[in-house]
Structure 1
Amino acid sequence: MSLKSSKRFEVTVEDTHAIYLPEEIVSPFLKEKNTRVKVKAFFESNEIEFHAALRKRLGRYVITFGKRYQKELGIFPSDYFQMQLYEDTTKYGVVMPKEMEAVFESDPEASETFENFSDGKKRSLIYYVKRFKMPQTRINKALLISENIKMGIIDQRELVKKHY
């Protein structure tokens, strides 16, 4: 099966971190009930890839494009650049770090509880672990979450704190 994707289209950042998307680009994804997409952004010789949620704001479709992505792509708020949307085929709407995957594979109890969390909570925890650069730190954070899950902690903020 070929991956569904849009054509490349030109955008700019509005309101510091919003990218408004043309309806004709978004419609095929929404028809298939895909509200999460993989995004590729292109500017000069730079290219980045990330996952995003398609949201409707003031009658227009928008994705969030924060300062970190702007810096990574090398753009300023006034720059125009190209984007392309792809069907998101990941399980969680974001790629889980391999270190976190390994922790859950070795801990079925924590993994089962994690799988019962809402999709948003799962993504939030994955993003929390992903933000660390060092593999050992990602392992430690995933282990912390796993231990907290087994202690019955389900509050989002408490899951990432040390309790033992």
Structure 2
Amino acid sequence: MEKKKNKLQSPIFEISITGSYYSLLLPLEIIQPFLEKNIKRVKAKAMFEGKELFFHAALQKRNGNYYMMFGKRYQKQLGIFPNDYFQLQFFEDDSKYGVEVPEELEAVFGSDHSALKIFEALTDGAKRGLIYAISRYATSQTRIDKSLVLCENLKRGVTDRRQMLKPF
């Protein structure tokens, strides 16, 4: 039997949105164990008034403090307004790209190994950006269509990320 590796997780803590950039000022005592393991991307769970939201995030250092973006989309999903306090918890992110890959994109890459090889050569940030772009489409069929366009554009040598999901 394979032994399951213990994943790092933070305690649940209270936080509110700070500043105009939808960022959260993170308590050092909460994120220190992640920083000690050189973990800069986490899976987060936000909780507010009985609602929960899981998402991936980066721990960003600015002016000696650590922040995390918490955009309007997440705030709207949970019904959070500026100055509201909500609960947050971090987990060690064991995903391959630091974000959940839509199953449609995985399936298309599974059938197009040359496009996957090109995708794997992109920077981690570029990969995440493209994955986010695909995952934001509402319907499965649109995610499939955009995944196919992405693969063709990768093989055609398109390097401008703004053009990657546009039909050729």
**TM-score after normalising by structure 2:** 0.95
1:55 partner amino acid: Q
In structure 1, C-alpha distance between the alignment counterparts of 2:92 and 2:28, rounded to whole Å? 16
Residue 117 of structure 1 corresponds to 122
Structure 2 CA distance, aligned partners of 1:125 and 1:138? 12
Q: CA RMSD in A?
A: 0.8
Residue 101, structure 1, aligned to residue 106, structure 2 = yes
Q: Distance in 2 between matches of 1:47 and 1:147?
A: 37
Q: Percent identity?
A: 50
Tell me, in whole angstroms, the C-alpha distance in 2 between the residues paired with 1:159 and 1:75. Answer: 33
Aligned length: 163
State the one-letter code of the partner of 2:11.
Answer: K
After superposition, what is the alpha-carbon deviation per residue over 1:7-47, rounded to whole angstroms, capped at 9, x for unaligned? 01110001230001100111111111110000000111011
- 1:96 deviation in Å? 0.5
2:12 is matched by which residue type in structure 1? R
Which of 47, 54, 60 is equivalent to 1:42? 47
Matched, 1:19 2:19: no
Shift of 1:160: 1.6
Q: Structure 1: which 4+ aligned runs deviate by more than 3 Å?
A: none
1:6 to 4, 10, 15: 10
SS in 2 for 1:62: strand
Q: Which moved more, 1:82-91 or 1:150-159?
A: 150-159
Q: Take 1:160 and 1:143, find their aligned partners in 2: how far apart are those partners?
A: 9
Q: Look up the match of 1:58.
A: 63
Measured against aligned partners, the alpha-carbon deviations of 1:32-88 in whole angstroms (never above 9, x if no partner) come to 111000000011101100000000122111000000000111111110011000000
Q: What's the TM-score once normalised by structure 1's chain length?
A: 0.97
Query: How far off is 1:155 after superposition?
Result: 1.7
**Structure 2 counterpart SS, 1:5:** coil
Name the SS for the 2:167 alignment partner: coil
**Partners in 2 of 1:146 and 1:42 — Cα distance?**
36
